[in-house]
Chain A
């Protein structure tokens, strides 16, 4: 029996390849995603562990990881380092000057690494990490040991187009805006790569000059333990000599903090990608199910012969399942290899976004291999089980009969009933989500959506009937008999057509649901910008990071500028919880009139205004004192003087910018709002403002339209990424159509021969098959788009707090339908050519 099964596999190579392809692609995607996620985690783990010393002296405050971005001015004096060095537990103590908010410009004047990954500028010192290895390794040239020298990480130097000896330009957050250095060497974190971050190493006194205004001081101190001293002992010993406001933490704590911060971010990426892998695999399962259904129906005579020769039902079932097993084994193995390639592709995509993952960490882990085989074989066997059972039900006498195939039955009434009930249950779940059942609304709607998609997939033969009939009528009208034959062919086996279309439906349902959300998001943003963008111009960095105040200073000098308001954001602990607070200047009130619920918008001194929702969260009201702890450890009690309606104009906790300054934060601006003076030409002012930031690519001047476009661009970028990830599921579905058509053509060999004999030309035969393919694709697209539209609208409704506007991407839906038709045409090419090459006589003579 086994030998026969293997022979079967080998004998039908083309079929094997096509069916296996669905498994290969699905598993390939899964393996690729898992490998990529693992590589992503490993990259950061390596960097974090490779760049952390035994213990670290830093300012007090829990928010160390983000606080480094806020730019505290509290510094470690050199004497403190001397005292640390004298401790017996300390082998070495290296003062570090960490600069934040700097950017590296490439030779072409553009930002290196975009604005996604951070640019880390610090002084070079030869400290070692927790494992006792150097934190930094030199790749070429030398370390910076003179003012004016710089050492860049290898990848940034390459991306910036710099070679050793070149002049390198940095944009700095304080003092001089642009400063040039001589590149003396390149380096890397010992962990390998920088994950896309840009490293710029300066000589210590130069770093102090650039970031600390020339003070001989440091921002943190890296401690190396003496032999036999534990991290805890080292940190405890260090604490005894530190001045107030500073603390020492173990390297392990720093690693744990970083892991936690980055882990969340990486998990989001991982789950996001795995969701698409699951979609691809479900689509693949449909294809496998369909392929085996057709194979089994074509092999009725063979199965019957086996039964007649004494094979038991179980043996026939097993022969099909074993065939599926070997296909799955082959498919999963090839899928793993494909996955390795795909993970590199994903890495390349992320690299373009500024997240650099080294190729060495993209390896197949045992977990990935096991997961790929378990999922690949499991899904294939499950998908093949029903057809395998059907094969066993063939009566032995069928071997002697002439009619070759068992007609797959239309859906029974019971199934239609069950399907209808399932659709109602799905609708009820969605309804529950919409009227606010306990728990997350989106979870209810998601559950309903999954039930809907699966039910529609199973019921496609019934639900899709009107679509098929419409296609037949349309094709009959346009293409005459050929069109009618194609329409009839799609209708003759509704189950097969339905199952093939379902694979496409799943992908398109997600596409259109996501499309509705994205369109609604864009519409919401448009409305929001329309309502809230009240100044003539906004000056921001695309990543909403801070930029030097000098830019604002220069813009104040521009002719025609009337009012200019500055805002600075900072992380802080508000009532013990981490938050992002906003400092605004006096001019803020002249541009923005907030809708006050209570109290006043006017703030001065240690006062704050809260948004309505933030006030609720903090249980605060006008007159309440709210403690805010800033990076650097300073806590300020702010008096709440007003509550305003929620708005994206400013943060939930807004205070005078002086509060931030007094708390020891270095001044920079995160947003400038500019109104032109009366009578000034808006266009001219914009041109003049643009000129200020001409060679500072981190900062852009935007008017309302520009800002709107920027946000739309960001939404679209995400949307296209999702579409790109869904493309694989759609490709698998198209392979399914190729497969079904190919097998149908073989099954209908004699009919094709008859049609050719009575006068159907090759061209029209190809047209007939193409039209059948288009019918399947249109069916899948229509079902998918309609279901996705409903799901998208329901999801939007549940998110209506954030997505206040509902927009239907109708033109996109039409485009998807057209794309589906194009895919239908493409899917038909191979089967159509194969059918038209069949010799008429062979077709008729086939037994």
Chain B
């Protein structure tokens, strides 16, 4: 595996999964959350991963984001295979090359918005690039609230701060796990709009897990997972097309159960 150049190139692979298998439990209680997933996530693209509950979409993201270790197969982020890395190296990888946005509890409650945004850089002992920092802050539109703590901000504002934190260290890839799951539609639109712009304006790679077709419609590419496998894919998705695919997946599941 050779090191690939990082940054603004519009093509190339940001992260990839090769025959990824993740099994929980043993024997009878065995659950195959991922059942041989092979997929490339492209640089400079906004990818959405969709699927019904239990389809393995979150597990796929966790394995790619160095939060979970697969049972077999290989996960590669920014040219680095995760399988052989120790905890310390994984920690550094997460800190330096991956950005995270979670559904809830995204911010450290004791730190201000600004401190939260700079947390990964502080932990790495790096200074932020002032121009980049300003650009990100302006993009999330929260400059006046930088000195506030999470408890003094709305859910949408908190989530935008989380997005800024994910971007400020210029990671190779940003993983977002149901980032709008807890938000009303206006706040959702703000957050998703920001993620979209980060791809368009900054050339950021974003991977988002969601089961909301509206959220997925902001993306460039939608991967559909069912029963631990990639079953379908859409480019330049439209909300209705997504809904239709989801419906089909749901029907398939129902007929299988019946």
B44 to chain A, nearest CB (A): 23
B91: which of A402, A491, A492, A761 is its contact (CB, 8 Å)?
A: A761
Residues of chain B with a CB closer than 8 A to A481's CB? 119, 122-123
Asked if A756 is at the interface (CB within 8 A of a chain B CB), the reply is yes
Mask, A835-847, CB within 8 Å of B = 1, is 0000011001000
Interchain CA distance A23-B111 in the complex, whole Å? 37
Whether the pair A762, B94 counts as a contact (CB closer than 8 A) is no
B177 to chain A, nearest CB (A): 8
Q: Evaluate whether A841 and B68 lie within 8 angstroms (CB atoms) in the complex, with A756-B91, A757-B94, A761-B88 already known.
A: yes
Whether the pair A751, B105 counts as a contact (CB closer than 8 A) is yes
B170 to chain A, nearest CB (A): 14
Whether the pair A841, B62 counts as a contact (CB closer than 8 A) is yes
Whether the pair A402, B111 counts as a contact (CB closer than 8 A) is no
Asked if A758 is at the interface (CB within 8 A of a chain B CB), the reply is yes
Mask, A746-787, CB within 8 Å of B = 1, is 000011001111111111100000000000000000000000
Asked if A480 is at the interface (CB within 8 A of a chain B CB), the reply is yes
Q: Evaluate whether A754 and B105 lie within 8 angstroms (CB atoms) in the complex, with A759-B94, A762-B87, A841-B62 already known.
A: yes
Whether the pair B67, A759 counts as a contact (CB closer than 8 A) is no
Asked if B96 is at the interface (CB within 8 A of a chain A CB), the reply is yes
CB-based nearest A residue for B93: A759
Q: Evaluate whether A485 and B120 lie within 8 angstroms (CB atoms) in the complex, with A757-B94, A759-B91, A841-B68 already known.
A: no
Mask, B95-115, CB within 8 Å of A = 1, is 110001010111111110001
Asked if B124 is at the interface (CB within 8 A of a chain A CB), the reply is yes
Interchain CA distance A759-B67 in the complex, whole Å? 11
A480: which of B92, B104, B125 is its contact (CB, 8 Å)?
A: B125
Interchain CA distance A484-B110 in the complex, whole Å? 10
Interchain CA distance A762-B95 in the complex, whole Å? 13
Asked if B43 is at the interface (CB within 8 A of a chain A CB), the reply is no
B28 to chain A, nearest CB (A): 23
Whether the pair B123, A764 counts as a contact (CB closer than 8 A) is yes
CB-based nearest B residue for A487: B110
Asked if A532 is at the interface (CB within 8 A of a chain B CB), the reply is no
Asked if A690 is at the interface (CB within 8 A of a chain B CB), the reply is no
Mask, B54-76, CB within 8 Å of A = 1, is 00000000100101100000000
Whether the pair B95, A759 counts as a contact (CB closer than 8 A) is yes
Interchain CA distance A807-B108 in the complex, whole Å? 47
Interchain CA distance A750-B62 in the complex, whole Å? 15
Interchain CA distance A750-B177 in the complex, whole Å? 15
Asked if A585 is at the interface (CB within 8 A of a chain B CB), the reply is no
Asked if A107 is at the interface (CB within 8 A of a chain B CB), the reply is no
Interchain CA distance A19-B131 in the complex, whole Å? 52
Asked if A489 is at the interface (CB within 8 A of a chain B CB), the reply is yes
Asked if B165 is at the interface (CB within 8 A of a chain A CB), the reply is yes
B153 to chain A, nearest CB (A): 14
Residues of chain A with a CB closer than 8 A to B91's CB? 756, 759-762
Q: Evaluate whether A759 and B96 lie within 8 angstroms (CB atoms) in the complex, with A481-B119, A481-B123 already known.
A: yes
Mask, B29-69, CB within 8 Å of A = 1, is 00000000000000000000000000000000010010110
Number of B residues contacting the other chain (C-beta, 8 Å)? 30
Interchain CA distance A756-B62 in the complex, whole Å? 13
Residues of chain B with a CB closer than 8 A to A759's CB? 91-92, 94-96, 119-120, 123-124
A127 to chain B, nearest CB (A): 79
Interchain CA distance A364-B94 in the complex, whole Å? 60
Number of A residues contacting the other chain (C-beta, 8 Å)? 26
A760: which of B67, B96, B123 is its contact (CB, 8 Å)?
A: B123
CB-based nearest B residue for A750: B105
Whether the pair B67, A488 counts as a contact (CB closer than 8 A) is no
Residues of chain A with a CB closer than 8 A to B94's CB? 756-759
Whether the pair B100, A757 counts as a contact (CB closer than 8 A) is yes
A844 to chain B, nearest CB (A): 6
Whether the pair A758, B104 counts as a contact (CB closer than 8 A) is no
Whether the pair B67, A751 counts as a contact (CB closer than 8 A) is no
Residues of chain A with a CB closer than 8 A to B92's CB? 759, 761
**Interface set, chain A 484-501, CB cutoff 8 A to B:** 484-485, 488-489, 491-492
A487 to chain B, nearest CB (A): 9
Interchain CA distance A759-B100 in the complex, whole Å? 10
Whether the pair A754, B106 counts as a contact (CB closer than 8 A) is yes
Interchain CA distance A757-B119 in the complex, whole Å? 11
Residues of chain B with a CB closer than 8 A to A761's CB? 87-88, 91-92
Residues of chain B with a CB closer than 8 A to A402's CB? 104, 182
CB-based nearest A residue for B177: A844
CB-based nearest B residue for A407: B151
Whether the pair B108, A485 counts as a contact (CB closer than 8 A) is yes
A720 to chain B, nearest CB (A): 42
Q: Evaluate whether A755 and B108 lie within 8 angstroms (CB atoms) in the complex, with A761-B88, A761-B91, A840-B67 already known.
A: yes
Interchain CA distance A844-B107 in the complex, whole Å? 12
Residues of chain A with a CB closer than 8 A to B109's CB? 492, 751
Residues of chain B with a CB closer than 8 A to A756's CB? 91, 94
Residues of chain A with a CB closer than 8 A to B87's CB? 761-762
Whether the pair B110, A758 counts as a contact (CB closer than 8 A) is no
Residues of chain B with a CB closer than 8 A to A491's CB? 110
B86 to chain A, nearest CB (A): 10
Whether the pair A492, B110 counts as a contact (CB closer than 8 A) is yes
B110: which of A489, A757, A760, A844 is its contact (CB, 8 Å)?
A: A489
**Interface set, chain A 455-504, CB cutoff 8 A to B:** 480-482, 484-485, 488-489, 491-492
Whether the pair A844, B67 counts as a contact (CB closer than 8 A) is yes
Residues of chain B with a CB closer than 8 A to A763's CB? 88
Interchain CA distance A402-B68 in the complex, whole Å? 25
Whether the pair B111, A488 counts as a contact (CB closer than 8 A) is yes
CB-based nearest B residue for A761: B91
Mask, B141-162, CB within 8 Å of A = 1, is 0000000000000000000000
Residues of chain B with a CB closer than 8 A to A750's CB? 105
B65 to chain A, nearest CB (A): 8
A488: which of B104, B107, B110, B125 is its contact (CB, 8 Å)?
A: B110
Residues of chain B with a CB closer than 8 A to A764's CB? 123
Whether the pair B67, A485 counts as a contact (CB closer than 8 A) is no
**Interface set, chain A 713-760, CB cutoff 8 A to B:** 750-751, 754-760
CB-based nearest B residue for A486: B110
Whether the pair B100, A758 counts as a contact (CB closer than 8 A) is yes
CB-based nearest B residue for A756: B91
Interchain CA distance A841-B58 in the complex, whole Å? 11
Interchain CA distance A402-B183 in the complex, whole Å? 13
Interchain CA distance A840-B105 in the complex, whole Å? 14
Residues of chain B with a CB closer than 8 A to A840's CB? 67
Interchain CA distance A489-B111 in the complex, whole Å? 10
CB-based nearest A residue for B102: A844
A48 to chain B, nearest CB (A): 65
- Residue among A402, A484, A491, A844 with the highest chain B CB neighbour number at 10 A: A844
B125 to chain A, nearest CB (A): 7
Interchain CA distance A488-B119 in the complex, whole Å? 14
Q: Evaluate whether A757 and B67 lie within 8 angstroms (CB atoms) in the complex, with A485-B110, A751-B109 already known.
A: yes
Interchain CA distance A480-B107 in the complex, whole Å? 18
Residues of chain A with a CB closer than 8 A to B182's CB? 402
The 3 closest A-B pairs by CB, nearest first: A759-B95, A488-B110, A481-B122
- What are 12 A-B pairs at a CB distance below 8 A? A488-B111, A489-B110, A751-B105, A751-B109, A754-B100, A756-B94, A757-B102, A758-B120, A758-B123, A759-B96, A759-B119, A759-B123
Interface residues of B (CB under 8 A from A): 62, 65, 67-68, 87-88, 91-92, 94-96, 100, 102, 104-111, 115, 119-120, 122-125, 165, 182
Interface residues of A (CB under 8 A from B): 402, 480-482, 484-485, 488-489, 491-492, 750-751, 754-764, 840-841, 844
Given contacts A485-B110, A758-B120, A758-B123, 10 further A-B contacts (CB under 8 A): A480-B125, A754-B100, A754-B108, A758-B94, A759-B92, A759-B124, A761-B88, A840-B67, A841-B68, A844-B102
